Structure 1
Amino acid sequence: MDNKLILIRGLPGSGKSTLARNYVDNKINPLIHLETDMYFLDKQGVYRFEAKQLSNAHRWCQSKTKEALLLGSSVVVSNTFVQRWEMKPYIQMAKQLEVTLDVVVCRKNYGSIHNIPLETINRMRKKWQE
């Protein structure tokens, strides 16, 4: 297969989703954009985060990514991926499916669109692994 998987990682508000949309909008090689936050969108597109559903949301994102890759699409996944182990399922998936894998880090600070408290972002920053 000549499709690829791009992982975009960064703290909330660092520009991950915006960068992912740039990949999707590329007219030559458009990618499918997935992120765990999409799991929390209701039918009207309103974001309704539920912490107790976070594990299910990550499994959903991984499953949708694998489905798209198996269909021959290229995928960009934008999640925080604060610690390296959080990328592991995607890295294993790329190896298993023999797709090219790229990891991109966003470091800007545009402010969280989901109103994540600064103290939560600071806790994530302290856990960040290069």
Structure 2
Amino acid sequence: MKLIIRKDKIFTHIGIYLDDTMILHYSSKTNNFFRNDKIVKCNSIEEFKRDRKIRLIECKEKIYGEEFKRAIETFIRRQEDYHIIKNNCYTFVLWCLYHKRRTSLKDIFYFADNYKIPILSIYM
């Protein structure tokens, strides 16, 4: 399993890359960061990319099959309103990898540092 990172206008966006046809990520239905219409989406690499730079990172944690499927289903069932710090695309990835529903900035920064992921991206 790999992680996929996309540089967006302000922050990086993260998802779980399974193959070129299946990327799971927590994102807006309308691809609008400022709208509170976030859902777990399954997109192709081109849909995820949206003409922006992406990077694949080998995932250090190994989670497959039923355990992975249960993690995604649980996140969807317990889905809360989007929050820029407490419930975002990083929250989804951390939940799938570690079953950690509540995330703090410290958790996100630690995870990002561990994988060498820049949180801010300032994309023009």
* Structure-1-length-normalised TM-score: 0.30
- Larger C-alpha radius of gyration, 1 or 2? 1
Between Structure 1 and Structure 2, which shows a larger proportion of strand residues? 2
Question: Higher relative contact order at CA 8 Å, sep ≥6: structure 1 or structure 2?
Answer: 1
* Structure-2-length-normalised TM-score: 0.31
Between Structure 1 and Structure 2, which shows a larger proportion of helix residues? 1
